[in-house]
Amino acid sequence: MGARNGVMAATMVQAGLTGVSDVLDGTHNLFIALSTDPKPEEMLAGLGSRFYVTETAIKTFSVGYPIQSPLDALLSLRKEYKLTPDNVGSILVKIPTDAIGIVGESAMPDVNCQHLVAVALVKGAVSFVDSHDVKLMHDPKIMEQRAKVTVMADKALMDPAAPRGAVVEVTMTDGKKVDHFTKYPPGTKENPLSTEAVSAKVRDLMAPVLGADKANKLIDQINNLEKVASVRSLGAVCLRSDLKALR
């Protein structure tokens, strides 16, 4: 959204649109619009030494934010203990109390925690396509695993310093119980993604539209942005003759 707004602002100026000279001043300014107790001096705190862009969270999974930690925890357990639909008896997912109303039972797959945990167990990953596929919610294999998943609110996870942590407890068919606590979802400033992980995320988003070759080329140019002579060349990578695929 931030990138879209930036491009939109630039094209509006290019088209001749005008606006107020200073959105931070005047009777109806940005501070008053966003806060009942604005502290504009905070804009200068740490100026030149603290860069908020480095603290921006990047979602690993294209799902509702409270599901980031449950998926990370489940996939960590799946890898460590070689979990499969056949050796998992039940899954208990504990999330903060303020999250249960957001990602509990929902008809929208990308905000349905039970469904996505089931998808992760079956597939070992959750792609953008998976998390937005309504038909997948009715897949017999997924539904069978979803019946094993219980999501509950846990007051102990209401931590202001880590507001989106989660605990996943798995009971295996042999009675063995394993659990994993993801305090900070991958992609947060406390648990940042590697360049390779970010590239994998954007490749999942772009390849279905641009094709694998163009997606990889664009990723390579972005990862070596200091060597790109003109930003216009990035747009050229995205151009394709079949514009219908972008609609």
pLDDT in tens, 53-62: 888 899 999 9
Q: 26: left (phi > 0), else alpha (psi -120 to 50), else beta?
A: left
CA angle 46, 49, 51 (to 5 degrees): 85
pTM of the model: 0.80
Q: How confident is the model at residue 246, as a pLDDT?
A: 47
Residue 104, exposed/middle/buried by CB under 10 A (0-12, 13-18, 19+)? middle
C-alpha span between 219 and 201 (Å, rounded): 11
C-alpha span between 67 and 124 (Å, rounded): 15
Q: Which two tokens stand for residue 201?
A: 């995320």
Q: Please report which confidence band the pLDDT of residue 228 belongs to, taking 50, 70 and 90 as the band edges.
A: confident
Query: Is the CB of residue 121 less than 8 Å from the CB of residue 70?
Result: no
Backbone angles phi, psi at 38, to 5 degrees: -65, 145
Q: Please report which confidence band the pLDDT of residue 243 belongs to, taking 50, 70 and 90 as the band edges.
A: very low
Mean pLDDT (the chain, rounded): 92
> Scanning the structure block, which residue is given the tokens 């846990």?
154
Q: Please report which confidence band the pLDDT of residue 241 belongs to, taking 50, 70 and 90 as the band edges.
A: very low
* Helix, coil or strand: residue 92: strand
Backbone angles phi, psi at 188, to 5 degrees: -80, 170
Q: Which helix (H) or strand (E) holds 128?
A: helix 128-131
Query: Is the CB of residue 136 less than 8 Å from the CB of residue 130?
Result: yes
Mean pLDDT of 17-25: 88
Q: How confident is the model at residue 239, as a pLDDT?
A: 65
Q: In the predicted model, is pLDDT for residue 236 greater than 80?
A: no
Q: Which helix (H) or strand (E) holds 219?
A: helix 212-223
